[in-house]
Amino acid sequence: MPAERRWDQREYRIVESASLNNNARTVIIETTTPGTTVPPHYHSRFSETFELINGSVSVHTGPADTSELAFKSTLTPLEPGKPITVPLGWYHKFIVENETSTFKCTLEPGDIGFENMLKVLDGLKRDGELDKLEEDDVFLAVLMDLTDAHPLWKVGEVLMNVRKERSEAIEQMKEDLLKKYDTPEALARLMAD
């Protein structure tokens, strides 16, 4: 799978944690480089609202029955002060355009799994291990599981096969990563200004 996710070039700050607000919401500020994107996917546990702070980010969105061709025509540039909410179950994908950009992402209700993914990414980056996992399909499956992301079309098919063939490796990696990085200290680092 392509290196468009660029986990090692993304910086996150948790503004509100579901663990501290009775799962009301998770609010994240993400800063990332041009060309960063994620595979088209949907979530079944939360809605996701994107709000541009600075830079250039666009979002594809569509209801669950949207075809791949129709989905590609839904690109909407984010504008400061004009958030776009992707309802629970809707297909979506963001793309950072031609400059380093910062945006706010709000999950409602909050999602501890998503926050755990941020702790894992931050910890691996601090330990100098993140770039080694960029193209690892087992690692991608772990991240998708933590964030309740259900990839679509070709990536979804690839990931479904990885889950079938490597389910034990996925569960073991997830357990090991959470044991190491799901700590109060990791959350505190991500919440620091």
Q: pTM for the complete prediction?
A: 0.91
pLDDT of 7 above 70: no
Q: Which range is least confidently modeled, 43-57, 106-120, 135-149? A: 135-149
Q: 133 and 70 in contact (C-beta within 8 Å)?
A: no
Average pLDDT, the chain: 91
CA distances from 175 to 4, 17, 49, 120, 143 (A): 26, 21, 29, 11, 12
pLDDT digits (tens, 9 = 90+) for 17-42: 999 999 999 999 999 999 888 889 99
CA–CA separation, 12 and 27 (whole Å): 10
Residue with tokens 């250039």: 56
Please give the pLDDT value at position 71.
87
The region that residue 6 occupies, defined by phi over 0 for left and psi between -120 and 50 for alpha, beta otherwise, is left
CA–CA separation, 79 and 85 (whole Å): 13
Domain 3-191 adopts which CATH fold?
A: Jelly Rolls (2.60.120)
pLDDT digits (tens, 9 = 90+) for 65-87: 888 888 888 999 999 999 999 99
Burial class (CB in 10 A: 0-12, 13-18, 19+), 179: exposed
Q: Can you tell me whether residue 22 is helix, strand or coil?
A: coil
CA–CA separation, 79 and 110 (whole Å): 24
CA–CA separation, 83 and 105 (whole Å): 9
Q: In this structure, which amino acid lies at residue 143? A: L
- Report the candidate in 36, 29, 27, 39 with the shortest Cα–Cα distance to residue 9: 36
CA distances from 126 to 79, 81, 171, 181, 186 (A): 32, 33, 23, 11, 11
Give me the DSSP letters along 99-126. S-EEEEEEEES--HHHHHHHHHHHHHHH
pLDDT band for 2, please (50, 70, 90 cuts).
very low
